[in-house]
């Protein structure tokens, strides 16, 4: 049998091969890390979001009257904190969840629409868990000026006031 010349890789060829393999492995790791980060960024807010029906009860309309303590327009909802004075002089703090800031903004509301110390009357729906939390469908200042609204289309903007289930929390 005749001798066939064999091309053996040189040291440089081996190093070049190993270097390319290392770069490929590094790119793969970067891709996996980016994909995992993207998945977490998308999945975390989605899992934190809730449906209206799961948290609030349309069968429990409520009206509260009190003083604004805090007003936040932050995604995914806006939040209003109100101190409600009870008949016995004590104060109960209520948390009012409102619509998305983008929806309120399109309706003309801004971060300065409600100021700390403003007297407000808020109509909405009580939380299912019985806490001092509600979804605010509408809010009015003491002079009757409507400052907030924009309840989702599936939620009546004005709770039925004649319903026997309506709670008045302005002076419990």
What is the tens place of the pLDDT at every residue in 37-86? 555 555 444 444 556 666 888 889 999 999 999 998 888 888 999 999 99
Q: How many CB atoms lie within 10 A of CB 27?
A: 10
d(CA 157, CA 152): 8
d(CA 122, CA 111): 17
Residue with tokens 């590094």: 26
- Classify residue 18 as left (phi > 0), alpha (psi -120 to 50) or beta: alpha
Task: Give residue 140's pLDDT band: very low, low, confident or very high (50, 70, 90).
Answer: confident
Tokens of 141: 């200042």
Tokens of 126: 């009580």
């Amino acid at each position: 049998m005749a001798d066939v010349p064999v091309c053996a890789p040189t040291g440089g060829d081996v190093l070049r091969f190993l270097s390319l393999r290392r770069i490929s492995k590094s790119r793969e790791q970067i891709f996996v890390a980016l994909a995992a980060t993207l998945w977490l960024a998308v999945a975390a807010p989605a899992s934190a979001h809730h449906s209206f029906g799961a948290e609030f009860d349309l069968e429990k309309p409520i009206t509260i009257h009190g003083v604004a303590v805090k007003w936040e327009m932050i995604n995914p909802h806006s939040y209003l904190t109100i101190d409600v004075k009870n008949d016995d002089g004590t104060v109960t703090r209520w948390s009012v969840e409102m619509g998305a800031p983008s929806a309120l903004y399109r309706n003309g509301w801004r971060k300065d629409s409600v100021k700390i110390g403003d007297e407000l009357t808020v109509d909405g729906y009580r939380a299912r868990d019985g806490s001092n939390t509600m979804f605010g469908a509408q809010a009015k200042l003491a002079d009757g000026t409507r400052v907030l609204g924009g309840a989702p289309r599936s939620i009546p903007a004005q709770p039925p006031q004649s319903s026997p289930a309506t709670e008045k929390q302005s002076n419990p």
